[in-house]
Amino acid sequence: MIRPWILAARPKTLPAAASPVLVGAALAYGDGVFNLTPALLALVFALLIQIATNYANDYGDFSKGADTTARQGPARAVASGMVSEKAMLRAASMVFAAAFIEGCFLIPYGGWALVAVGALSVACGLGYSLGPWPLSYNYFADLFVLVFFGVVAVTMTYFVQAGSIPPDALIASLAPGALSVNILAVNNYRDHDADKAAGRRTLVVRFGHRAGAWEFLAMLSLAHAVPIALWCMGRSFIVLFPLLSLPMGLMLLRLLVKSRTKAEFGKTLGGTAAYLFVFSLLFSAGLLAS
């Protein structure tokens, strides 16, 4: 059956992998250094790492007792009995291996240093939910998402096309990274009770739901500050396109604080992931033309 594997891949979260690559490619195009082949290779690598991390998280959360009937989120493949622990761990390992091998095809474009980047990506993907100090069980998960789904993904996508990383790429990377953090914020807000019972020390568990809402607003504000910063640095006003999406972001914040049921949280999570992609499309369009 393929359905459990699609479920475990968590399609709603995949915009977090695709969006920063899109931004990095658009920035490269706007700067006149776009190269389709490494851009596509970077996209495939990012998607494989995301899927493998989700598989490892499915296994890890069940093995640590975090996935229980108390969760309001969607059913997990291992916890629901659709996939065995052994099969999920094997699948995660295979997809991580596939990601690393696929990423090696980027070496001609970015040099052997990319091997270290690929290895670190795999290690952090595994360490997100597995090992003695899993990142997802403490505050480091938020920083991890900002760095890997923002800074690393955007700058490395740019680097394999241009061979350098300009300041604009570093600044631009904060936008998709921040909005990816909001996907995690919604998950943590929703799973407060289950996470607390499982011993997770997320921001919401430590400081309460209000802290989760403030984090969402802070990351939303950071994402929208990025185009303004790039405009102030000399890019065309067209780079301000993403500001048109701000009402949608504020609507999602309102939905988050009002959500109580599984269906309501599902709508908020799906909307937050979709918002990341919409913002990234508008941002990319602005970068292409600026």
Quick one: which of 125, 135, 111, 112 has its CA closest to 45? 125
Helix (H, G, I), strand (E, B) or coil at 209: helix
Quick one: which of 157, 176, 165 has its CA closest to 35? 157
Residue pair 209/217 in contact by the 8 Å Cβ criterion: no
* Residue 168: partners with Cβ closer than 8 Å, 6 or more residues away: 27, 31, 230, 233, 235
Q: What pLDDT tens digit does each residue of the chain (290 aa) get?
A: 788 899 999 988 888 899 999 999 999 999 999 999 999 999 999 999 999 999 999 998 888 766 665 556 677 889 888 999 999 999 999 999 999 999 999 999 999 999 999 999 999 988 888 877 888 788 788 999 999 999 999 999 999 999 999 999 999 999 999 999 999 999 999 988 888 887 888 999 999 999 999 999 999 999 999 999 999 999 999 999 999 999 999 999 999 999 999 899 999 999 999 999 999 999 999 999 87
Give the count of beta carbons closer than 10 Å to the beta carbon of residue 9.
Answer: 20
Distance in angstroms (rounded) separating the CA atoms of residues 182 and 178: 7
Residue pair 160/4 in contact by the 8 Å Cβ criterion: no
